[in-house]
Structure 1
Amino acid sequence: MKQRILWSTVLVGALALTGCGSAGSGASSGSSDDTLVVWDWKSGDETAAAYLEEAKADFAARHPDVTVEFVAQPFDQYYTLLGTAMRSGAGPDVMLFNGGGQLRDRVDSLLPLDDHVAEDRERLAGWEAFTHEGTVYAAPVTLQGHPIYYNRTLYEEAGLDPDSPATTWEGFLDDCGTIAAETGASCFATGNKEGYGIQFFLSGLGSAVLTPQEYDDWIAGDRDWTSPHVRRIFELWQEVDEAGLNNDGVNSTALFNDSLALFESGDAAHVVGLMSDIGHWKDFGEFLGEENVGVMPAPLVTADASPSLPYDGGIGYAVAKSTDQPELAADLVRSLTSTEALTAFHADAGAIVSDTTVDTAAGGPALDAIVPAIESGRPALHVALSSETLDLMGRLSQQLLSGSVSVDDALRQLADSERAD
């Protein structure tokens, strides 16, 4: 099994590695051949406790003599810590990934899982986000998407029909003006301090701008960053802020959780949120009342676009290629995606899990609106991008809002970045 590394300190300009030791060395962080070490950023969450207990019980029933040790890492440092650990060859046996670029950038260090998860392919959805060149490298735990949520109470206070949100961009802007005048609420709750807000905006609204063919080409990797419709998405990003439709100080507002709190407090009428398991229907319902949380399709910007719910596999567990016990580690991944475990995750965290057999009927009206849309949903635009391109897009999105870069220059830099990948 893998040696356990605990990362406890981040120094200026360097990472400090502490508590590293092997079995029998006397160090508290050592692991032995009857221990599997898992890294994630979820195991410290109260809402994930029952999920992990179910997964561990499932695994223990087959491997009673094996200890599973979860090491929760801070999400804002997670991929930096994980990358350093994996390069050292002393990282965990099993690790959690977001779907998309962060996993695909590291597939050389991951164990192909196709042979290990063949029995689960029909039961679970969201595999594409954890697949690279036809090979599966992680098993999906959740489905993650970017619905546009709206506050039905604010619509009513503004004299608008909460059952009929606008279906066109022009109508949407009119409704936002009415809401602002009657309630004082901003149109959007947006946070881009981390550069994540542009990802939500791109995926939440992109299907209302790109044609279906353009959308398919983007997902397939055939992206034209200079096309009029791609340019329009980034123009909208700028225009929405310049028109005062966002909350103040977007570039100094953290998406997690400051911008989400603006929506929950009724200070903003809309937010491009998540499906699970934060910034989602369950969180919003606890603050606003589940009956007051609406879900709307992206309002149509381009006449020949076809708005759809953007979603992919959300988070999933992978196995390190360097693990000493690949069969055992892969079996732990299967336990972490068992129906019993995922049922608990849905019940406690509100996660829309990858297991299509889990009953979601008791989730309330917002979830009732999301689940049917999954069937016709399409992959999220930002998930198709590499981590390097996402990082660059985040920096450029901040500069677009500050006025220090033009849309054309930003798109040129993004096109150059992709060609260099």
Structure 2
Amino acid sequence: MKQRAVWSAVLVAALALTGCGSATGTRSSPGGSDGKLVVWDWKSGEPSAARYVQQAKADFAKKHPNVTVEFVAQPFDQYYTLLGTAIQSGKGPDVVLFNGGGRIRDRSDALLPLDEYVAEDRQRLAGWDAFTKDGKTYAGPVTLQGYPIYYNRTLYEKAGLDPASPATTWPEFVADCAAIGRQTGAKCFALGNKEGVGIQFFLSAFGSGILTPQEYDAWIAGKRDWTSPNVKRIFALWKETQDAKLNNDGANSTAMFNDAFAIFQSAKAAHVIGLMSDVGHWKDFNEFLTAEKLGVMRAPVVVPGATPVLPYDGGIGYAVTKWTKDPKVAGDLVRSLTSTAALKAFYAEAGAIAADTTIDVSSGGPAVAAIVADLKTGKPALHVALSSKSLDLMGRLSQQLLSGSTTVDEVVKQMAASDQAG
């Protein structure tokens, strides 16, 4: 960890000295013959994103042939720390990649609203709300990110269950898990909560099976009642799954990325709450489970009156920093990064569920077809509505709940105080 911290500091300094974005006073204005835009992200260095970047650059070059675009791929585990240093200095990249939700909303003061630049893309792209604060849009969505519950159809078959009809209520679900355990030895859930991320996935994946539709919508709107019995039920269920040994052993010491997903892929667990895009998603799993053997289900109903939906938002999106020399040119780059041609390449190579709703995903297999079909009735993910500080606190408290060192009442009390503080 010390070596990473030192390297991060050196990297920030080096990027500033080499003219990253507007870090040097001599940088030419974008749009000039020697203009340059610098992009920070954590995706462009991945082989699966190569054609996406190529397509985006080609689209941008048609509009601004004299502007160079430089991508600087940062390590994700240090990304927001590095970005925070750039924001504090008021210098750095022109265009930056963000996760939707609290990550971008907490840093919106360092970004330019893009509404006037992306107006023509409103109908074609989905997921805008995750990049919006106070009615202003701060990023163009690249992917849609959701939290489906995947299951191994082969394990269902071995347990004598119908893989085409997964459980729709919690008691049925627990009974199915018991049958799978008896017949195959597999756990019910693959869970990784070493980073405190597992609770985020759990909250969003199972929340619609617990909260009433009215409570769900109020939560997203910022009117969260942490004393509600149903809100408490979410955290009680989190603890119950652990106490009932439904999770893999050592969930608090298992990393979500990518150890928990490896447990699922190796058929040591029948279910995992995964992603729609990026990693731990349908295309990743197809490397170990054929598309026909990968199932996806909605949350089972835990509390009568709940209406399970697919939780999803804008996944990742590109924003423009307020210090860029030419906002319109930077805005054009965001449009190129969210162009249909670029997003088609991202879907084809990386398996991302692109924000572009015109892209045909029918070749992806049954799981992706089911996910896309559920987008019509889906709702924003519960955890994405929380601030970064609240998410960090929830992660720590979730670990304590699994270990038995705190109570549900204490968790909701602390979460309420954090949520009210903003």
**Structure 2-normalised TM-score?**
0.95
Deviation at 1:285, TM superposition (A): 1.5
Distance (whole Å) between structure 1 residues aligned to residue 238 and residue 133 of structure 2: 30
Task: Give the aligned partner of residue 6 of structure 2.
Answer: 11
Q: How many residues align?
A: 411
The secondary structure found in structure 2 opposite 1:70 is strand
Measured against aligned partners, the alpha-carbon deviations of 1:365-390 in whole angstroms (never above 9, x if no partner) come to 11111111000000000000000100
* 1:352 and 2:353 aligned: yes
Counterparts of residues 22-421 of structure 1 (less than 5 Å): 32-33=28-29, 34-421=35-422
Deviations 1:131-185 (A, max 9, x none): 1011100010000000100000000011111111110000000000010111010
User: Whole-Å Cα distance in 2 between the matches of residues 408 and 192 of structure 1?
Assistant: 20
SS for the counterpart of 1:288 is coil
Distance 1:411 1:387 in 2: 17
User: Take 1:76 and 1:221, find their aligned partners in 2: how far apart are those partners?
Assistant: 28
> How many angstroms apart in 1 are the aligned matches of 2:4 and 2:198?
28
Q: Equivalents in 2 of 1:105, 1:312: separation in Å? A: 17
How many angstroms apart in 2 are the aligned matches of 1:83 and 1:91?
10
User: Is the CA contact (8 Å cut-off) linking 1:43 and 1:72 kept in structure 2?
Assistant: yes
CA 1:22/1:261 → structure 2, altered by over 3 Å: closer, same or farther?
A: closer
- C-alpha distance in structure 1 between counterparts of 2:27 and 2:404, whole Å: 52
- The CA distance in 1 between the partners of 2:123 and 2:284, in whole Å, is 29
Residue aligned with 1:174, SS: helix
Match of 2:17 in 1: 21
Shift of 1:9: 5.0
Pairwise CA distance, 1:420: 1.5
Unaligned ranges ≥5, structure 2: 30-34
1:344 alignment partner, SS class:
helix
Alignment-mate amino acid for residue 93 of structure 1: D
Where 1:299 maps in the other structure, the secondary structure is coil
Shift of 1:21: 1.8
* Residue ranges of structure 1 left out of the alignment (5+ in a row): 1-7
* Secondary structure of 1:318 counterpart: strand
Deviation per residue, 1:338-368 (Å, 9 max, x gap): 0000000000111100001111111101111
Any idea what the Cα deviations from partners look like across 1:257-315, whole Å, max 9, x if unmatched?
00001111111100011000211111111211110000111010011000000000000
Deviation at residue 15 of structure 1 after TM alignment: 3.9
CA distance in 2, matches of 1:405, 1:23: 49
Find the residue that maps to 1:419 and give its secondary structure.
helix
Distance in 1, matches of 2:291 and 2:19, equals: 50
Give how far 1:23 is off: 5.4
CA positional deviation for 1:127: 0.4
Instruction: Determine the C-alpha separation between the residues in 2 that align with 1:285 and 1:233.
Output: 30
**Structure 1 residues 28-78: Cα deviation after superposition (integer angstroms, max 9, x where no partner):** 9x9644111101010111111100000000001111111111111111111
Contact 1:130 1:138 in 2 (8 A): yes
Q: Percent identity among equivalent residues?
A: 66
Coordinate RMSD, CA, aligned: 1.8
| Whole-angstrom CA distance in 1 between matches of 2:367 and 2:19 | 50
Cα 1:53–1:230 change in 2 (3 A) is same
CA shift at 1:18, angstroms?
2.9
C-alpha spacing 1:55/1:176, structure 2 compared with 1 (3 Å) = same
Residue 4 (structure 1) aligns with: none
In 2, Cα distance between equivalents of 1:136 and 1:244: 43
CA distance in 2, matches of 1:122, 1:23: 37
**Cα gap change, 1:324/1:9 in structure 2, threshold over 3 Å: closer, same or farther?**
farther
1:184 is aligned with what amino acid? G
CA distance in 2, matches of 1:182, 1:57: 54
Shift of 1:403: 1.1
Q: Which runs of 4+ in 1 moved over 6 A?
A: none
The alignment partner of 1:208 has SS state of: coil
Question: Contact 1:361 / 1:368 at 8 angstroms: preserved in 2?
Answer: yes
**The 10-residue stretch of structure 1 (277-286 or 37-46) with the greater mean CA deviation from structure 2:** 277-286
